[in-house]
Amino acid sequence: MKKQSTKIALLISLFLIILIAGGILLKENFIYMIKYWGALLIIGIISFPMTSLIFNKFDDKGWVFSKILGLAIPALILWNLSYLKILKFTQINCYIIIGIIAIINLIILITKKDKFKDIKQNWTNIAVIEILFLLAFIIWVYIRSFMPFINSETEHFMNYGIINKLMNCDYLPIEDIWLSGNSINYYYFGQYTSAFLSKISTVGVQETYNLMLALLAAFLFVLPYSIGKTLGNTLLKHNENKEKMPKFIPTVIAVLTALAVTLSGTTYYLVHRIILNNDAYFYADVYDYIGHEPESQDKGIIAFPAYMNVEGDLHAHHLDTMFALTMLALLLQYMLSNDDETKRNKYLNLNIILIGILLGIQTMTNYWDLPIYLVIASIVITVKNFIKYKKPKEKVLVTLAQLIEIILLQIIVTFLFSKNLYISATHVYFTNIMSPLNKLAVLWLVPFTCIFIEIFAQLFNFFKEKKGSIFQYINKMNLADIYIIILGLCAIGLVILPEIIYLKDIYSDEYKRANTMFKLVFNAVTLFNISMSYILIKYSCKKTHIISKAAILIILVIFITTFGYGINAINYGTENFSGEHYDLNSNAEGYIYENLPDDYNAIQWIKQNIDKNSVILELPGDSYTTDSRISVFTANPTVLGWYAHEWVWRAVNYNVPDDVAERWNAIYKLYQSNDKETIEYFINKYNISYIYIGNVEFNELKEDIQLDTLLSLGEVVYKKTEGYKLNPVYIIKVK
């Protein structure tokens, strides 16, 4: 009893120390962080009864995953109700849905109270992982405070604009801020989830952008930690009667997995930063490494979570990492589940149901992840069922039934969303180009080696035993080993696939397979990091020949060295944590404030004085420019925003849609014409309420802009012609 009291006191003290340190470190940011953390803590507690029933093989009973499911399930319910125009996407309705979920979980708690008797035995693990989550969140909020501004160099503007529109909408789907009069044609459930969390935590969009980035980075630590700990516990239990392994093995695997997913940057970092000692090394160079160093006609793209943590882009593939890791956890739970439990509920298994629902959520978050995780789920479920069931007919029928159930659930979950989504890239082609072998080796030789070590070790044991068939051997294997081999082989497949085929989109020639490689490899890196952490620690602790042990330890050191990528990237992004760049409020609109101050002031006026549904005309431009900044920061739709993005989203046979081309031409005519009839025709056609003339318009159109004609079209409701820093600003309310 005394030992238990000491442990409680120690954990509470640690928790309070972290909170106090966070308050001192984050200052004004601490309030925003606490609101986010508190909201996640509450929805985690609410959802824990259901989650703990599913994750019974995890020593924290799925505590950290209850935050993800507690956020995703209510958000999904309101998402569909809003699509049906039954409920508006408002703060109060978010609370109502969460309240209903709370009642359902309370019923589960009361009716199945015998299932929760052992929770008390796991409270230490729950407390530890919550402390780790809080610590990781505080650290990443602090890191983001040194680089809070979104800019136009990547897709910050696009993602901020989507979240901003979600925060200012009534129903879904939202209007496309860059193509007024049309609903958005993009998978945006991840941005919607960010807005949902922002609403329930009462945090504004300016702060929520950076908080969400910090939250994703924190999840990228604790979710793999929980998966790694479960894999380690399974390894330890399986080896109890064979050879003794240190009891700390699960914790070591957990920490290594968490650090790997958060910081690892492949051996590119080791080769180009350490071995070659390249003074010109830049963390983002790995992004287009395939097509450069030296320059080539094949511009493949490589990215991974550690890169995105610093790049600061709340893009679809990055937002889906929290759902992808939850999917991997659900699949691990199914792999480790007791046979008698799943046999009783083989056709109505809660785990299988959640896999189907989550696959639907992933589809709406990042459409590319649908085929990836459907394949991974299908393999894991098939292998588990073929181990679990003895009769061949039962193996096949149960597996088919469960896979059909998953697909049907995915279709049901995404039905309303899919009705409004047009996919322009649907054709698969064989590639006639392959990445240079030396570059593939730099990126993938170490993870490939680790996976083959595990496979060859299992084959060696099989031939050594000389008992029964390979299927009988697999039936006796550690289920964690089987799971890791599946993840590893899937990762290898994701790396090899874009060397063979690619999904055709608007980009051609040297960029034709860039997007395919980008989306597949992004997931491969996470799968590799989980697999490698398990394999290297497992064989580091096994009794093997000294040469084999030395080889494993060398690979382990190489693997850990790659964590320097994330540390180097963080130092670069924060400018070595230079105090002069520390923004206490982490306001994402700081970039526009510093670089386009006159536009910033006008944007603040628009937010206060113009209805969010009014169309404000501004000059369109190419992607990754400050064009379309008014629509991004006000959430008011414009006639046309980033031209290439609308082309990608709505391409017809890979060509620019007629409507997009027409809008581009119409806008330039409107700004440059003296013909009032033509101007008024376009104003009526596109339902324009206001015309904006500012820095971008003056810089790009110069003397071609017909200012007098534009000013005569209606009332000038905002004018800044004195004291401006860059260019005058006019906002005209048209008649």
pLDDT at site 560: 95
- 236, HSE (Cβ side, Cα atoms, 13 Å): 16
pLDDT tens digits, residue range 96-143? 999 999 999 999 888 877 777 667 677 888 999 999 999 999 999 999
Q: What is the mean pLDDT of each run of 10 residues along the chain (735 residues)?
A: 72 88 87 94 94 91 95 97 96 96 91 73 86 95 87 87 94 95 94 96 91 95 97 84 76 96 92 85 88 83 90 91 97 88 72 96 95 97 91 90 95 94 84 90 94 90 79 86 96 95 84 90 96 94 80 93 93 83 68 88 94 94 88 95 90 88 93 90 94 92 90 92 84 90
Residues in Cβ contact with 156 at an 8 Å cutoff, skipping those fewer than 6 apart:
150, 312, 313, 314
pLDDT at site 2: 63
Q: What is the C-alpha to C-alpha distance for residues 201 and 219, in angstroms, rounded to an integer?
A: 18
- Given a contact cutoff of 8 angstroms between Cβ atoms, the answer to whether 362 and 373 are in contact is yes
pLDDT at site 344: 63
Partner residues linked to 731 by β-bridges: 692, 718
List b or e across 543-565, with b for residues whose CB sees 16 or more CB atoms inside 10 angstroms.
eeeeeeeeebeebbeebebbbbb
Residues in Cβ contact with 174 at an 8 Å cutoff, skipping those fewer than 6 apart:
162, 165, 166, 183, 184, 188
pLDDT at site 305: 92
What rounded mean pLDDT belongs to the chain?
A: 90
Q: What are phi and psi of 25, to 5 degrees?
A: -70, -45
| 3-class SS string, 95-152 | HHHHHHHHHHHHHHHHHCHHHHHHHHHHHHHHHHHHHHHHHHHHHHHHHHCCCCCCCC
Q: How many CB atoms lie within 10 A of CB 118?
A: 11
H-type helices in 288-391, by residue range?
305-311, 316-319, 321-336, 339-344, 350-365, 369-388
CA R_g for the chain: 27
| Nearest in space to 688 (alpha carbons), one of 718, 733, 658, 731 | 733
Q: Could you tell me how many helices (H) and strands (E) the chain has, helices first?
A: 31, 6
pTM confidence score: 0.94
* 695: amino acid identity, one letter: N
Residues in Cβ contact with 303 at an 8 Å cutoff, skipping those fewer than 6 apart:
287, 317, 518, 521, 522
What residue has token string 């979570």?
305
- 123, HSE (Cβ side, Cα atoms, 13 Å): 11
Q: What is the C-alpha to C-alpha distance for residues 312 and 583, in angstroms, rounded to an integer?
A: 15
Q: What is the C-alpha to C-alpha distance for residues 482 and 470, in angstroms, rounded to an integer?
A: 13
Give the orientation angle of helix 156-167 with respect to helix 189-201, to 10 degrees.
Answer: 50
Cα three-residue angle 432-437-443, rounded to 5 degrees:
115
pLDDT tens digits, residue range 594-640? 888 999 999 999 999 999 999 999 999 888 888 899 999 999 999 99
